[in-house]
Amino acid sequence: MQAPIGTDQLRRLLAERAPVVRQALHRASVALVLYGQSQIETLLLIRRAENPNDPWSGHISLPGGHRAAEDRDELATTLRETREEVGLNLDPPRSLVGRLDDVIAVANGQPLDLSISPFVFTIDHLPELRANSEVTEILWVPLEPLFSGAASTQIEVPIGPGTRLLPAWRVGRYLVWGLTYRMIEMLFSRMRLAR
């Protein structure tokens, strides 16, 4: 099964309006890398390495990271981080489809002074990837179960003195939730406009 949209159609949808850029002291960028021939079939996700200093340690996420001083803009950050984390060299003139609205990061239920810019790319071949020390697993996830809701579930997350149920997707033995869920769902909301 495939998400009911092709690359050209998605490019047109994302070009219809400028993304919302949110100001924050710190900036980061991620890549939503979609694979498919005539239609989009899978999404590239990673499992982050365990790190006690990382609030998203061990989570399923999108490749990307913090903007470095040498990055000329958020797109440069995305390209560098994706290359470093999974060994994927994205060619923006050919593969960049568009940019989604910036998302303010949240950890433990509190907003951080960190804005994340999601960039959408499509590729028409599955490259050989290699994980660096920040990544423990690389996953190509079928898009249709996420898009259709067939993989939908919830996760109970400790926030402050209590817990909260948050939306999630089950992907094999993992759950996709939080910031990654929000950014993918933002893409899906744009894709649903094409239906």
From first to last of the 195 residues of the chain, give the pLDDT tens digit: 445 688 888 889 999 989 999 999 999 999 999 998 778 899 999 999 887 777 667 889 999 999 999 999 999 999 999 999 999 999 888 899 999 999 999 877 788 999 999 999 999 999 999 999 989 999 999 999 999 999 999 999 888 788 889 999 999 999 999 999 999 999 999 998 876
End-to-end CA distance of the chain: 16
Contact 62, 46 (CB under 8 A): yes
CA 155 to chain centre: 19
In 10 A of CB 104, how many CB atoms? Answer: 15
**CATH code for residues 7-192:** 3.90.79.10
Contact 4, 145 (CB under 8 A): no
List the one residue out of 155, 148, 149, 118 whose CA is nearest residue 44: 118
